[in-house]
Structure 1
Amino acid sequence: MSQHFGKLGRAAASSLLFFLLVDVGVSGGSASKENAAVSHITAQPPFPARPELWHLSVTQKPAKEKAKEGERVVLNCHFNSPQWPSLSKLTVKWYKEDEKGRMDLLENNVTVLPNNSRVFMSGDLSQGDASLVILNVTISDHGIYFCTVTLPDGKVVTGDGTKLRIRRALGLFGIEESIGTIIGVVAAGIGGLVVLIIILTPQLRKCILCMKQGSRQA
């Protein structure tokens, strides 16, 4: 009888030891999975916790720029994001607006215009400098230029724009003026001439009458 109880005791002890080993194994596996998850998270790039907190400012100065035909023009654009240290990975674009509509120019220093090497970015994107360079400018380059930066969440931030005016050489005494200024000067000159004629017409009539009367009396 005692031998029977001894066997039952040994069997119970073996079962208890088995369950303890299984429980320790499961707990250890869970801990390993948690450690692996933590390691995976820390290996990811430092993204902000909440995308809605991403902030980026784009500055274009000055608001207006002038140049002569054939000159080299630099349009400044600087951007900054305290939550996004790797600025070179952001998408930067330039486009122009004029009376013909919108025209895309560059995307990350790659021109989208066919056979055009006059337009390129000269700044260092890693430093937040996306300045645009236009070589040998022509009258067709006039318009408002916009610099845009796209955040990782798809949000697009656009600068206030820079209005570019191109001056043309008339070839008369070295005068160089923009087309708008030329039209204004010509219109003002014609208007002044008309006013002068209107003012002087009565005086001219009086002088003519006086001359006629003098010739009759003589």
Structure 2
Amino acid sequence: MSQHIGKLCRSTASSLLFLLLVDVGVSGESTSKENAAVTRITAQPSLLTTPKQWHLLVTQTPAKEKAKEGETVVLNCHYSSPQHPSLTDLMVRWYKEDEKGQMDLLQNNVTILPNNSRVFMSGDLSQGDASLMILNVTINDHGIYFCEVTLPDGKVVTGDGTKLRIRRALGLFGIEESIGTIIGVVAAGIGGVVVLIIVLTPQLRRCALCTTQGSRQA
């Protein structure tokens, strides 16, 4: 009886050992397959998408503009990008250059001049229109105006500028001229008088000598 029990125990132990080895083999094979799958996945090169660069065109028209004192002036500025049809996230800046230097008029789409409601943006930015409107222009508004657009990546694109000249009435027969023309006319008049004096001075001296000699002879 004891011998029979011993054989049964050994047979049971052998069966358990065989099942254990089979399970380990299966688990090891499954783990190897998973590792192989992971290896294949990580071995594939990652696809990196490079963002498209902005190519923005900023156009200012006209290149030169004239206006009389008290008039309203619109300086056109349009921009477009073939790669990015949506233009809502762009920032616009307007500034003016004259003999006094550079002065900011509008920054981040907002007028920054203190106590000045004459200058503001009149265009629709979503349509690429950043035109600037100046109400009741004065002599001090003359200068070169630049439209500057900042892209989301920080790149800045500036237009070629618009030169604004202001004309004013002289009050003489209703004549209106620009500041540059007025200065030119005055300078030319002064120069003509100086030249005339230089030319006539020797002749006046001769006449004076002739008069003096004639009076002496008499």
The TM-score, its normalising length taken from structure 2, stands at 0.73
Contact 2:168 2:176 in 1 (8 A): yes
Residues 167-191 of structure 1: CA distance to partner in whole angstroms, max 9, x if unpaired? 1111111111112211212233344
The residue type equivalent to 1:49 in the other structure is T
Contact 2:91 2:109 in 1 (8 A): no
Q: CA deviation at 1:137?
A: 0.6
Q: Which residue of 2 aligns with 1:175?
A: 175
Quote the Cα distance in structure 2 between the aligned partners of 1:160 and 1:74. 16
Identity %: 69
Q: Which residue of 1 aligns with 2:22?
A: 13
Quote the Cα distance in structure 1 between the aligned partners of 2:101 and 2:197. 43
Q: Which residue of 1 aligns with 2:4?
A: none
Q: CA deviation at 1:24?
A: 8.1
Structure 1 residues 23, 83: CA separation in 2 closer, same or farther (over 3 Å shift)?
farther
Quote the Cα distance in structure 2 between the aligned partners of 1:49 and 1:161. 33
Q: What runs of 5+ residues in structure 2 fail to find an aligned partner? A: 1-9, 40-45
RMSD of the alignment, in Å?
3.6
Q: CA deviation at 1:16?
A: 4.4
Question: Please, which of 13, 22, 36 is the counterpart of residue 4 of structure 1?
Answer: 13
How many residue pairs were aligned? 199
Q: Which residue of 2 aligns with 1:122?
A: 122
Q: Which residue of 2 aligns with 1:44?
A: none
Deviates more, 1:179-188 or 1:130-139: 179-188
Q: CA deviation at 1:27?
A: 9.2
Larger radius of gyration: 2
Q: What runs of 5+ residues in structure 1 fail to find an aligned partner? A: 31-36, 42-47, 214-218
The TM-score, its normalising length taken from structure 1, stands at 0.73
Q: Which residue of 1 aligns with 2:50?
A: 49
Contact 2:67 2:165 in 1 (8 A): yes
Matches within 5 A, 1:131-146: 131-146=131-146
